[in-house]
Structure 1
């Protein structure tokens, strides 16, 4: 890998990151066209997934794309959808070389994009910044491989791991900068998910505010019985911002009709051991195209996801106050008898946030 290839691939990856949370069900891809050492076109997958990054970059480059090198953060697509394949568009534009980290594991592509390029005489190089691209596209690749989105569990707690006082007061444990960082996290995820208890107690909007996003994350509420207040902020805004309700099979038709009239999408899921089965919930969300979900609690939902080994990343915001044992714990009972059975995560970063501390962990 040359220094030039690394430089321009890093730029393509940074462009792709700008589309995270905006592109599902498509991956957030970046593309940079370089000719004789000069950038002649750049683009990222647009909000909603179309147009693709290559299409945007080629349109910007025009005739200058002829003989250029295309740095793309994922194999160019090979299938006909709403637009022709990007691999064919690169060939038609006269691109001489394509550099990408790895193939697209989507069965509709899976090396076929590279095959189209090579068959037309375009040089293809892979393996450039593969590890970095794998982190950026982890959610998309996980949905392709396992049919579920990548799950980030976010918790904002006191020093002693409480998310509210005994009376339920929780606003605000952490400060303004931590809360703004949470909104940025929401903007980078396809969806924000909470349990029914959190939806009832906090009456949240679950939107990404102050981030200038084109496409708000889907709001997902996990509620077996759909025992949610029909006059909540979520209900009032369901026609404007998508609201998906994961529920069990026993809800009555009147309740279902009320929420559907409000604009919510109802997603029936399986029940196991008296609660919604996390695997069923995540498969349902993956089947509808979500690649990344930010779970913001509460404790029962967090415990359920952890117990089923469904959490890929933890993001914690810890404040310098103590609430005490009578406060509400961040994570519900896990039923662990041995420390060896506790889910483990590896620390990736820790930094201060104006009086609070943010710490991020990934699956060990």
Structure 2
């Protein structure tokens, strides 16, 4: 690879690294980093987007300038915005700065921007290079892209099981299958998500807290999906001082008399059926890029069937529980031939103490 191309790649990877500093805090926005060089190719500024409502990466880089960028170049992992939102359009600033060349990894999937920012840069006489480090940039913002393209939140299903594939004893008891180390890791995993989803049965049986234990502020939105609304009057999730909670219920089956059990601080939303896709779309509309499903077998099975799950995180403990097949992570997925089964890919395996954690992508 020519030396000049190597340099371009290094600067774009620098922009991607900067973008990753906004991990867990930018939703509903993407993670973006920007690097500015002077006309001699020297670094004169850089920046990244930290949180929605705060300056975008390009704006932060211009705010941090150490030298006039006239005739220089910019590297940014996502197409600069060209619309007025909570912050001014970045394209205008790039054009007025005198920068002559912009390297962009990927086009923004947001219809308000997609291709329009690039077009404005070109019309202003700026050289635009698209596609540098595209794979890395797509991986960084896969949930943002998924939400913008499908109008659904990117879903990850997490469960813990024994080595014989059980998630609980026959009587429903499951605390604790995995080690304290694994449970602590789950708290840090939750910080990557905008919302955590459970079903009414999980709330009744486990009374979970569903927080990162202070690792993220604000905490992810806690979502309860129920067909009956028969939820306990006392629950850890009714404490909205720790994190926000929303109850989404199926209006075709729920007894709305049970609504009086739910505290006023909890949001309520009804949907027309028990299709999990409705939840995914509601959360996407609220700006949730990535959501974690920590639900039981019935809701997990429905979510899989509705293509609401794109990744799976499995914790496997070296324990044998035994029991009936109903204690497995999923119900009947109605497969009758081996060519119908769900195949996982891109698996990442790590040891957590004596437990095994496997992260895999679903082939939809």
Match of 1:9 in 2: 12
Match of 2:29 in 1: 26
Match of 2:248 in 1: 246
Match of 1:318 in 2: 316
Cα drift, residue 149 of structure 1: 0.9
Secondary structure at 2:219 match in 1: coil
Cα drift, residue 359 of structure 1: 1.1
Report whether the alignment pairs 1:307 with 2:311. Answer: no
Instruction: Structure 2 unaligned segments of length 5 or more: list them.
Output: none
Distance 1:67 1:205, change over 3 A: farther
Give the whole-Å Cα distance in 2 for the aligned partners of 1:34 and 1:166: 63
CA deviations 1:259-317 (Å, max 9, x no partner) are: 361x222222231xxxx102222122222221111111211111111122332111111
Q: Output the TM-score relative to the length of structure 2.
A: 0.90
Distance 1:202 1:64, change over 3 A: farther
Give the whole-Å Cα distance in 1 for the aligned partners of 2:259 and 2:91: 45
Distance 1:124 1:202, change over 3 A: same
Secondary structure at 2:360 match in 1: strand
Match of 1:331 in 2: 330
Report whether the alignment pairs 1:75 with 2:79. Answer: yes
Match of 1:267 in 2: 269
CA contact (8 A) 1:267 1:284 kept: no
Secondary structure at 1:200 match in 2: helix
Cα drift, residue 318 of structure 1: 0.9
Match of 1:279 in 2: 277
Give the whole-Å Cα distance in 2 for the aligned partners of 1:162 and 1:319: 10
Give the whole-Å Cα distance in 2 for the aligned partners of 1:52 and 1:257: 43
Give the RMSD, CA atoms, in angstroms: 2.2
Give the whole-Å Cα distance in 2 for the aligned partners of 1:214 and 1:70: 32
Give the whole-Å Cα distance in 2 for the aligned partners of 1:235 and 1:340: 44
Instruction: Structure 1 unaligned segments of length 5 or more: list them.
Output: none
Give the whole-Å Cα distance in 2 for the aligned partners of 1:85 and 1:172: 50
Match of 2:217 in 1: 214
1:135 maps to which of 135, 139, 147: 139
CA contact (8 A) 2:107 2:115 kept: yes
CA contact (8 A) 1:347 1:359 kept: no
Distance 1:286 1:3, change over 3 A: same
CA deviations 1:2-56 (Å, max 9, x no partner) are: 2222222223223323323322221222222233454433332222353222222
Q: What is the number of equivalent residue pairs in this alignment?
A: 357
Q: What aligned pairs does 1:1-364 form with structure 2 within 5 A after superposition?
A: 2-35=5-38, 36-61=40-65, 63-209=67-213, 211=215, 213-236=216-239, 238-250=240-252, 251=254, 254-256=257-259, 258-259=261-262, 261=264, 263-271=265-273, 276-326=274-324, 328-364=327-363
CA deviations 1:110-130 (Å, max 9, x no partner) are: 111112222222221111111
Cα drift, residue 96 of structure 1: 3.0
Give the whole-Å Cα distance in 2 for the aligned partners of 1:43 and 1:234: 37
CA contact (8 A) 2:230 2:255 kept: no
Distance 1:8 1:199, change over 3 A: farther
Give the whole-Å Cα distance in 1 for the aligned partners of 2:133 and 2:331: 39
Cα drift, residue 65 of structure 1: 4.0
Cα drift, residue 69 of structure 1: 2.5
Cα drift, residue 258 of structure 1: 4.8
Cα drift, residue 100 of structure 1: 1.4
Cα drift, residue 70 of structure 1: 2.1
CA contact (8 A) 1:47 1:215 kept: no
Give the whole-Å Cα distance in 2 for the aligned partners of 1:217 and 1:67: 43
CA contact (8 A) 2:32 2:76 kept: yes
